[in-house]
Amino acid sequence: MPSANRKPRTFLGRLPLPERAVVADALRTETVGGMVLLVAAVVALVWANSFASDAYVSVRDFHFGIEALGLDLSVAHWTADGLLTIFFFVAGAELKRELAVGELRHPGTAILPVVAAISGMAVPALVYGAVATSVGGTWNGWAVPMATDIAFALGVLAVIDTHLPSALRAFLLTLAVVDDLGAIFVIALFYASTIHLPALIGAVLGLALFFHLHDQRRLHGWYWYVPLALIIWGLTYASGVHATVAGVAMGLLLRVTKDGESGRRPAEQITHLVRPLSAGVAVPLFALFAAGVTVSGDTLGQVFSRPEPLGVALGLAAGKVLGVFGGCYLAVRFTRARLSADLAWADVIAVAMLAGIGFTVSLLIGELAYPAPADAEHIKAAVLVGSLTSALLASLLLKLRNNKYRRLYEAETANANADTIPGTGPQYPNVARSASPVGRYWWTGVWRRRRLKRSSCEARATGSEVWPWTGGCGRYSP
């Protein structure tokens, strides 16, 4: 008999606080965030190709909003210009932290991922241009294959990773941060419509007020900033600049110095609170109404027969690999940057393949570059084909590399008791850390001992090693 004091549970009602905390923490992990995004994309594809496809189109194109303010937008438009602003707010906050107190504050340590990211944006654009223009296409979609979807990429890495060095994830994360910065500049500079100067000035003044309240007055409370953020977003949208730029700008204005009272950095704290909303609501809803492409023989045939979609697909699947790997190799070859002793060049190729997953931002830029629905449909299909190809190839190579590191770990663990090399045991766990909780700290020492045994150049690594990929010579590939 149920207790009289037990409150009835509402179906799909608000979860209790402990359960909400569990869900929010899960959404902060790359695996869950990537899986939620993948599920949303699959639902969109199934819905758009089912007997209920007309309902999908009706929901996606349904308009609502305040028409007097020019905000009578479709559901798809609201998710792209509205909800996706939250995603870019988180990206801007992460970028601010990396530039101010993270690893990107050291120019010497940032050179390898920065060069790789810039090359990883330039080469796909050139591949697109070479493919599209060689068969009579245009340069309109040159920016579509430039972007990397960090949620998908880190999700794939987290699912496969049990013994891969943590330097691999750190490199991918830094690469994606710089890549996001490039995508932000591209959207702001090349995809702005006619600029409405009064609205733009109003948005800038709103950002100045945001900075004054947050950084100078240091006021706390969401009720100060959420209404102001909505006003800034509305003015940015009305100015002709893409509205997601407002999210980036506010993220970059967050304070990264520690508060005297709590000792925490506001940028980190706010990002921690907003990330579940971004990963669990904003990005999946955008994917739901952006990835609904009609999959048919004709649609797929258009990807490989029309110049622009083919350029997008090859730019993601081939251009990203060539750009990221080529940038890394040239940086190591002609600068003082060095590949980590914990990584091999095969690992860099795997990361470069992961960078070819350009789902969220590529779909957004595709909609901006090709406003006509028919053209946008083909570009979206090309993004899906290129991203899926990159994900499959990267998964295959990462699985092979993971098996290689796992065998090394098992072999060294079997002989761990006989290993007496001083200064390389599990008391040094920060060199490389596996995502697996089993053997995480032992694997650190195991891998370091193997590198010390096999490579004499490790002994010549200087004390300037700050990032995992900037010290040592990386000449030995396991």
For tokens 């007055």, the residue is: 217
Confidence of residue 401 (pLDDT cuts 50, 70, 90): confident
Mean pLDDT computed over 367-381: 89
Global pTM value: 0.74
Per-residue pLDDT of 271-291, as tens digits, reads 888 888 888 889 899 999 988
Confidence of residue 265 (pLDDT cuts 50, 70, 90): confident
Residue 324 has pLDDT above 70, yes or no: yes
Tell me if 347 sits within 8 A of 401, measured CB to CB.
yes
d(C-alpha 22, C-alpha 380), whole Å: 34
Mean pLDDT computed over 372-400: 91
Name beta bridge partners: 64.
73
Residue 258 has pLDDT above 60, yes or no: yes
d(C-alpha 470, C-alpha 456), whole Å: 17
Residue 9 has pLDDT above 80, yes or no: no
What is the average pLDDT value for the chain, to the nearest integer? Answer: 79
Listed range (125-129, 323-327, 409-413) with the worst mean pLDDT: 409-413
d(C-alpha 166, C-alpha 419), whole Å: 23
The pLDDT value given to residue 337: 76
Mean pLDDT computed over 79-108: 83
The pLDDT value given to residue 230: 95
The pLDDT value given to residue 16: 58
Confidence of residue 428 (pLDDT cuts 50, 70, 90): very low
Residue 347 has pLDDT above 90, yes or no: no
DSSP 29-85: SHHHHHHHHHHHHHHHHHHHTSTTHHHHHHHHT-EES-GGGT--EEHHHIIIIIIHH
d(C-alpha 23, C-alpha 14), whole Å: 12
The pLDDT value given to residue 162: 66
Greatest mean pLDDT among 338-347, 349-358, 409-418 lies in 349-358
For tokens 């569990």, the residue is: 22
The pLDDT value given to residue 169: 76
Tell me if 313 sits within 8 A of 385, measured CB to CB.
yes
Name beta bridge partners: 63.
74
- For the chain, give the percent of residues with pLDDT over 70: 78
DSSP 223-255: HHHHHHHHHHHHHHHHHTS-THHHHHHHHHTS-
The pLDDT value given to residue 432: 40
Per-residue pLDDT of 186-243, as tens digits, reads 888 888 777 889 999 999 999 999 999 998 888 888 889 999 999 999 999 999 888 8
* Structure tokens belonging to residue 275: 């990330």
Residue 5 has pLDDT above 60, yes or no: no
Listed range (153-162, 219-228, 395-404) with the worst mean pLDDT: 153-162
Greatest mean pLDDT among 166-180, 313-327, 398-412, 414-428 lies in 313-327
Q: What amino acid is encoded at 83 in this protein?
A: L
Give alpha helix (H) positions in 253-306: 266-277, 283-290, 297-305
Name beta bridge partners: 73.
64
Residue 167 has pLDDT above 60, yes or no: yes
Residue 13 has pLDDT above 60, yes or no: no
Residue 113 has pLDDT above 60, yes or no: yes
